[in-house]
Structure 1
Amino acid sequence: MSGEVSAAGPLGRLARAAGRARRDPGVAATAGRRAVRVTLAAVAGFYVGLYGLDRPVAATYALFGAVAMAGLSRIPGTGRQRARVVAQLLPLGWVLLTLGSVLAVRTWAAVLGMLVVGFLLAFGAAAGPRLAGAAPGLQLLYILPCFPPYAPDTLGERLGGMTFGLVLLIAAEAFVLPDPPTRSYRDLAADATDLAARCAGRLAEQPWKLPGGEREAALAAIQGLRLSNVPEAERPAGPSRRERALTHAGRAARVLLAHLGELDARADGPPGPARAALLRQVAAAADGSTRVLRSGRPADPAPIEQAAHDFQRLRSGEAADGPPAGTAALRRDAVLAETAEAAAALAATAYLATGARSAAEPLRRSELWYADRSDAALWAHRFLAHLRPRSVYFQNAARLSVGLAAARAVAGVLSLPHGFWAMLAALTLTRSTAALTRETVRLALIGTLVGALAGAGLLVAVGHRSDVYAVILPVVMLATFCLGPTRGVGWAQALFTLTVATVFAQLAPAGWHLAEDRFLDVFTGSVIGIVIGLAAWPKGAHRQLHRDLAELLRAVAASTVVTTSRLTGRTDGQRQPRLLDALVMAESTYAQYQCEVLRPRPAGDRPDWQAALLAGHHALRGVRRFQRDEPDSAGAADVVDVVEMDGGPAPLPVDPVLGRASDVARIYADTAAYLAGAAADRPVVPAAVPEPDSAGAAAPARPLLFDVYAWLDSLRRDASRLLDSPLPPPGGQSTRA
């Protein structure tokens, strides 16, 4: 049995892990194209520098520059999209390489520089997926020169080599084996708004119903605009005004389509001239938004804003002067009012998505607080919002920077022969939870050991024949970047170890000790990664998610009470909680939590955390719709239509409204206490919100009463979804989903 691999041993586990890998053919094809491009750029730069110009330093930096930005980085998008990102980051690469070279003169200076640079680059993930994907490669551009020898006279050669390698990479990404084109989020949003225009037009005309095909298309469009269903490179996740507005435009299109579907379900005859006219205005606004999104030319969003405002006045006038409307009609009008609001939000955000800036009254909404801010101010706002220990971006950056600084200190103090490999291991193997880091390190060390043994055998067998290594390098590198992303970290480390041995054997005579040094350095970096992972937020987003969701649910509860209190005239000096801040933090933490799940359970056995996030969005929309002139966390003001009577808000009946709002708020407060571990008993799913009793309401306030009850019922449904799912015990101490 000497020739067999023990099924219980580490090599057997590595083989089983490879056998369990599920490789989507599309993913494998993408990895293959990327592998060809990075191999062409890295090998061409290395061979020109080493054999053409006899500049080993330039050759080294050309190879590792290409590997850093294409092999180590995970910049999303097609090859041409990545080429643009790399070209934009090239000046930053010059700065990082220069800084690393200068600070390499002293260990303490290199460690301090690594602490600061590592934090800033990792924290840049808060700006969106492109910078987050490029951050590991940028880290490597600083790591590579921050070790002795301190040779300022070679800085020009280092910069030249790195630049040459990145220029070759940009050309390869742009022109070699082009990726299939993808549809942009702007195009997806434009298609959805075009569909909304058609649906609104259908509802305004006989037979006042949507054909089955359009109902299905609307549901598909709503799902297609979810960011989780959009390619990562196409998600408008950045802090600029255009990207923020495009995100909001997609959300408004989804809400508009959902409301139109609800109107279709409630349709029981002609909508009446005024309602049909408003639906035609909604259709015109959606059609105009489609043209704006497709042409990039702004159009005035004011007409639909005015139409929505006029409809609210019409409802209050009808309630005051005409016979009482039936419950079905009042409910339908409440949905129609929300439909017009969604169309107005869509028109305003499509306007801003063109890059236009305006201080016009229709745009001064709290959700559009960024309408008149510069992109520089918006970038600063995004980073400052996450510059706090509660933010997972801050936690990840602090964890990684401390790990890299520790690896640099150990490498300098112990004079490791190839210390940058220890830092590279800490960079690539440290995860956001201790469990993930431990699992990754286990596979990586097995892979590195296998690669080291194969590399040592290669070095002994080939000796100092550089021509043989030159022939082998492209094959080994192609396998590394093709199989690594699809087979897992064990394969990646094994093949990269073999690549490193092949590269350094051409730079200087090398023996089997090179493979030994590689394994020792990777082991050192792995141990540091595990220690830092155990010391710094070892649970990652798991425990933070419970805290942030509890904070969000408390904010929803408070917002419900404050909003309804003001509508009944019972303000009592209450201030609106920072609901938007709580929602932003919860969403970012949930996004990381989704990436940390080691062993996902079946869908029916997972907590429905998205129900809590949806409740936050529903609460925020209600606050903005029903309140006026209340500053939000960004310093803007809510500007919404409130039914008016005698120049002021029409008061709602106190007891039924506040009683129902208190019931809904209580369930959110109890759920928040349960998630935070402050309550041991799981809350009971609340009953449905009853029909509004409008007897105690002034006639103009009756439509508003139905709007408020519809809002409270949507919050009740969100709470039911969350509480009906398998929540963990108090405090979130169970194994995560």
Structure 2
Amino acid sequence: MRLGRSVLGWLRRRDPGYRTVRRAARLTLVASVSFYGCRYGLGSTVLATYALFATVATGEFAQLPGDASQRARTLLAALPMAWVLVAIGTVLAWSTWAAAAGMLVVGFAVAFAGVGGPRLVGLANAFQLFYILACFPPYQPGTLPARLAGVTLGIVLVSLAEVALWPDPAPVAFPHRLRDAARAVAAFLEGIADVMSGQQGADAEVARRHTPAIRAVEQVRILQLPATQRPMSASVRDRALRDAAAAVHEMLALAESLATERGTTETRDADAARLLRQSAASIRSSGDIALGEAQAAGTDDHLDAAGAALERRRARAGQRADAIRLRVDAIVQAVVEQAGIFATAARVAGGFRTWQATERPATGPDQFWYARRSVLSLYWQQFRAHLTPRSVYFEGAVRLAVALAAARIIAGTFNLLHGFWVLLAILTLLRTSGADTRTTLRPALVGTLIGAVAGGLLLLSSPAPEIYAALLPISMVLAFGLGPLLGVGWSQAMLTLLLIFVFAQLTPVNWQLVGARVVDVLIGAAVGVLAGLLMWPRGASSELRRNAAAYLGAAAEAIAQTVQVLAGKDRTPGALDAARRGKILTDASFAQYHFERHDPRMSYVDWEGVLIAGNRILHGAEALLARDRPGVLAPWPDSAAQLVGWAQRLRSAYADLARQLPQGQIRRPVAPPAAAPDIVDRVDESIRSGETRPEVLRPVEVDVWLAGLTGHIARIQSPPTMPAGHRQKT
């Protein structure tokens, strides 16, 4: 009894929610039904082989996002592509070189398709297996119908099992996380509004609501989510969800600035408080719209009310101006703008068309350009952005394709028994960095050897196929359930036993099958290690340094260029385009580095801080340029000149940091530049002199933006409190 409780306790710790156990039970049942039914019921080894491997490929190697029904639909939608890959492999199996050439093309195309989003990433290894199995001898194009039937049977049964047999609990979908984050930020803003209204105890309530808001917003930090839960596809919905998440992060940062601003607590401002409450109502209802739980009409009402209140406030600006209120006004204005961006992005994500998203702006950046583009053009643009050696997706696809093609040549040239095991070993052992591949290698080889010895002893002692038919389900439970929980070595040992038990029932076998398994895994491991050492051995760490440097450098240019455009000294903010391209590659590099072995040389820079700084620059510049025409600061030349100078100093500081990032550390500390003096006082003086144009507060808003960017310079240079690549709280 005590032993049983200990085992259950260990299982709960290693497999929370029993997801692995449930998946192992589903796969064992489906694989047993399909294999035994085809092998012994229909008497077809071809059907049995392809049905079994389709089950393993889609049930074990595929890692799909969504709940059970979404995963089932994804598998069924992938069925035509599985047919195509099996057909291509069957046709090219006549020649080793033809099969290797096909492997090179298929290997790259399937791996690189992961650029399109989590579903394609999750299906990549399964698709590779369909081609790999079919491209090996014997060359029997006449068996193609049976092969396709087996693949169809396996995938359909896995899809049905996902829904009907012990389905996993649905993960918390990103729109749910976004809604919760919106509600938490809205509550935080409402608390600040209560402080501005002078309510008793409001300060303590703001402090209480701050921590839940931080926690909720952390849950929508996209690069720290599990890979299958990230809205990273090229679709309109996922792009809108990413924009909404960025707006939530920006609103939290603005709310935190507002909560610590002296004018928030020292003055009573009913108008600003009302504006914050209206913005909070808009944020809350927009989060429901993104989730599909509300209609879009209510959001327009909240935003229209907020906009009307803002205009009335601007009209009275000259009657009650003071320096303290000006900064509060600027931050509140930024909150309202980000609430508008969030509302538009949420409605686009929810499938609603809005004029903000579907009409091209007369001036400034087109933030919602994707809402007017076709699905094919969006995916093509995303693929094109990664067609560069600086992309970790491109590097990984090339590395895997070359390794698989080389392994196919070796297996064919030396006529290896069950040579596809060589390629299977590469799929399971090759990692994105040479260090990770070498780390995986030793336990995998030891595990393979242990499994081979155990299988060999059984072959020598009990050669009857009936023994293996009886042991096959047990080996499936061990390989699919226990192996992943115990690690690479045990997983390889149990997979080796499973393969021996399968092929002992398909063809006459002897102890040579055991030797073939060991030899094939050794060759696959050697090819994988060589590929990992010869092609981008450092994995994502080197590309993260380069791409982060390029991103931060482009963002630095965007700071100066944005202020110059607002000051009327430049009308072509082209640096934003370069920053957007840099963000794409940097995000991908950081996401991959998150799952690699940590490079100690990367621990001297807060890489997440680099991304956050770049994002704040990019989103802030887009918001300023989207709202204001070029030259909006020109009527106040003294303030404009000071802001241009401050922006130039910030550009120099960020550019200096960017030049040092490729080294992985900051050897020359960069001091935050001096702020522009007296911006708020100058605007206060202009208002007191009778200036009533609402644009008079624009210098203060730019001042607030630049002040926020200045604070990120120190963080980038501070080593993170956790090892680089781990999740860090911000």
Could you tell me the TM-score, scaled by structure 1's length?
0.87
**1:27 offset after TM fit, Å?**
4.3
Tell me which amino acid in the other structure corresponds to 2:628.
Answer: D
Structure 2 distance, partners of 1:33, 1:689, is 59
1:439 aligns to what?
439
**1:616-654, CA deviations, whole angstroms, 9 ceiling, x for partnerless residues?**
111112221333xxxxxxxxxxx22369879x7754535
| Length, aligned pairs only | 693
Give the alignment partner of residue 255 of structure 1, picking from 234, 237, 250.
Answer: 250
Residue 640 of structure 1 is matched in structure 2 by 627
Query: What is the identity, as a one-letter code, of the residue corresponding to 2:442?
Result: R
Equivalent-residue separation in structure 2 for 1:25 and 1:372 (angstroms)? 46
Which residue type is aligned with residue 65 of structure 1?
A
Question: 2 CA distance for matches of 1:302 and 1:366?
Answer: 20
When residues 678 and 544 of structure 1 are mapped into structure 2, their CA distance, relative to the original with a 3 A threshold, is: closer
Letter matched to residue 217 of structure 1: P
For 2:657, the aligned partner's letter is T
Structure 2: how far apart are the matches of 1:162 and 1:481?
A: 19
- In the alignment, what sits opposite 1:634? none
1:123-522 matches, within 5 Å, as 123-204=112-193, 206-207=197-198, 209=202, 211=205, 212-227=207-222, 230-266=225-261, 267-268=264-265, 271-292=268-289, 293-295=291-293, 297-299=295-297, 321-322=318-319, 324-326=321-323, 328-358=324-354, 360=356, 364=360, 366-463=366-463, 465-522=464-521
Quickly say closer, same or farther: Cα 1:50–1:362, change in 2 above 3 A. closer
Which residue identity does 1:353 align to in structure 2? A
Separation in 2 of the partners of 1:713 and 1:258?
A: 12
The 8 Å contact of residues 500 and 514 in structure 2, kept in 1 or not, is answered as: yes
Q: Which amino acid aligns with 1:481?
A: F
Evaluate the alpha carbon distance shift between residue 229 and residue 546 of structure 1 in structure 2; reply closer, same or farther with a 3 A threshold.
closer
1:82-161 matches, within 5 Å, as 82-161=71-150
Candidates 602, 622, 625, aligned match of 2:623: 625
Aligned to 1:576: 575
Q: 1:669 aligns with which of 643, 651, 655?
A: 655
CA contact (8 A) 2:198 2:268 kept: no
- The alpha carbon displacement at 1:514 in A equals 0.1
CA distance in 2, matches of 1:471, 1:678: 56
CA distance in 1, matches of 2:675, 2:551: 22
Aligned in 2, Cα 1:717/1:410: closer, same or farther, shift over 3 Å? Answer: same
Which of 672, 675, 680 is the matching residue for 1:686?
672
- Preserved contact between residue 330 and residue 706 of structure 1 (Cα < 8 Å): yes
- Cα distance in 1 for partners of 2:388, 2:297 equals 39
Tell me how far 1:568 sits from its aligned partner. Answer: 3.0
Amino acid at match of 2:639: P
Contact 1:221 1:254 in 2 (8 A): no
Structure 1 stretch 395-404 or stretch 175-184: which is displaced more? 175-184
Fraction of identical pairs, as percent: 38
Q: CA deviation at 1:523?
A: 1.0
Q: Aligned partners of 1:572 and 1:492: how far apart in 2? A: 60
2:719 is equivalent to residue 725 of structure 1: yes
Shift of residue 559, structure 1, vs aligned partner: 1.2
Partner of 2:13: 24
TM-score, normalised on structure 2?
A: 0.88
- CA gap of 1:397–1:573, structure 2 versus 1, over 3 A, is closer
Quote the Cα distance in structure 2 between the aligned partners of 1:331 and 1:359. 31
In structure 1, C-alpha distance between the alignment counterparts of 2:496 and 2:630, rounded to whole Å: 70
Deviations 1:650-706 (A, max 9, x none): 545354323322222222111111123499842233266465445666656652222
- Alpha-carbon distance in 1 for matches of 2:341, 2:380: 25
Following superposition, the deviation at residue 217 of structure 1 comes to 2.6
Residue 566 of structure 1 is matched in structure 2 by 565
Residues 524, 296 of structure 1: alpha-carbon distance in 2 compared, 3 angstrom cutoff: farther
Equivalent residue number for residue 48 of structure 2: 59
Contact 2:181 2:248 in 1 (8 A): yes
Deviations 1:37-80 (A, max 9, x none): 11111121110001111011100111111011112223345444
> Which amino acid in the other structure matches residue 426 of structure 2?
A
Separation in 2, partners of 1:442, 1:480: 19
**Cα contact 2:96–2:409 (8 A) shared by 1:** yes
Q: Please list every run of 5 or more consecutive structure 1 residues that lacks an aligned counterpart in the other structure.
A: 1-20, 628-638
Q: Give, as a single letter, the amino acid of the residue that structure 1 aligns with 2:282.
A: A
Contact 1:126 1:393 in 2 (8 A): yes
- Any idea what SS the aligned residue of 1:24 has? helix
* More moved, 269-278 vs 389-398: 269-278
| Contact map agreement 1:348 1:362 (CA 8 A) in 2 | no
Residue 259 (structure 1) shift: 2.9
CA distance in 2, matches of 1:253, 1:524: 50
* Cα distance change on mapping 1:270 and 1:317 into 2, 3 Å: same
Say whether the 8 Å CA contact 1:36–1:478 is kept in structure 2: yes
Question: Is 1:615 aligned with 2:613?
Answer: yes
Which is further off, 336-345 or 230-239?
230-239
1:692 and 1:709 in contact (8 A); partners too: no
Deviation at 1:95, TM superposition (A): 0.9
Instruction: Write the distance in 2 (CA, Å) between the matches of 1:576 and 1:676.
Output: 20
Structure 2 residue identity aligned to 1:661: A
- Quote the Cα distance in structure 2 between the aligned partners of 1:162 and 1:353: 35
Distance 2:380 2:630 in 1: 38
Deviation (angstroms), 1:368: 1.6
Aligned residue for 1:366, secondary structure, equals coil
Distance 1:721 1:485 in 2: 38
Counterpart for residue 6 of structure 2: none
Closer, same or farther: CA 652–459 of 1 in aligned 2, 3 Å: farther
Q: Report how far residue 460 of structure 1 moved.
A: 0.6
Q: CA deviation at 1:191?
A: 2.8
2:643 to 628, 652, 657: 657
Measured on the aligned residues, the alpha-carbon RMSD in Å equals 3.1
Instruction: Give the 3 Å change call, closer, same or farther, for CA 220–656 of structure 1 in structure 2.
Output: same
